[in-house]
Amino acid sequence: MIRFQPLPVAKLPSAALELGQAPFGYSPFAVGLFGLLGVGGAMTANLTGRVKRHTHPMPTAVAVGLIAVAFAVLLVAGNTLSGMVVGVLILDIGVQGLHVLNQRIIYDTAATARNRVNSIYMTFYFTGGTLGSATASLLSPYLGWAGVCLTGLGITALAALLWAGTSFHGKPSSAAAPVMCRAPLHAHRA
């Protein structure tokens, strides 16, 4: 099952808006350089791709946890350059990690369905990013940076609940599994 990807609400568009305003007031060039933090996410994506048990819940929980921590850092310390750098870097690592885990699940599917599943996944991935950016742009003038970060935390929590509800729902535990045993062949002879 592909994991739910939280909308990266504060990833770059809203962070770029924030960096261009007070207290930062950076030029468009300086804000563009801020995008180089994506290199950190790309480097950790390589490590995530090497996770041996990518279908185990732990890597997904770590990635979603990093996304939540990133929004918390951006909420608390997003008014400082160091807080903004750390928050966006953690956010990018979490989002890229979750994306790579999802891609590995897709490539584990049957070869005949892989392209279709990947097309559907990428359509929803980019639609989610677009909706997240639009949401952040709409909320920022009314709720400010704190509203954008709280929305990111809320969407991350919702995605985590949806993932947990669909990933663990309906799987029988090993203790509840029926025990199959055979009667000895001679037991039915009369």
Task: Kindly indicate the confidence band of residue 5, based on its pLDDT and cuts at 50, 70 and 90.
Answer: low
Mean pLDDT of 24-53: 81
DSSP for 16-80?
HHHHHSTTT---HHHHHHHGGGHHHHHHHHHHHHT-TTTTSHHHHHHHHHHHHHHHHHHHHHTTS
17-31, 55-69, 125-139, 175-189: segment of lowest average pLDDT: 175-189
pLDDT tens-digit series, residues 149-162: 999 999 999 989 99
pTM above 0.85? no
pLDDT tens-digit series, residues 165-174: 887 655 544 4
Residue 118 has pLDDT above 50, yes or no: yes
Higher-pLDDT residue of 130, 183: 130
Domain ranges of the chain: 13-169
pLDDT tens-digit series, residues 47-97: 777 777 777 788 889 999 999 999 999 999 989 999 999 998 999 899 888
Higher-pLDDT residue of 55, 113: 113
Amino acid 11: pLDDT: 54
Average pLDDT, the chain: 80
Amino acid 7: pLDDT: 47
Amino acid 111: pLDDT: 82
CA distances from 27 to 11, 30, 32 (A): 18, 5, 9
Residue 8 has pLDDT above 60, yes or no: no
Residue 143 has pLDDT above 70, yes or no: yes
Q: How far apart are CA 188 and CA 123, in angstroms?
A: 59
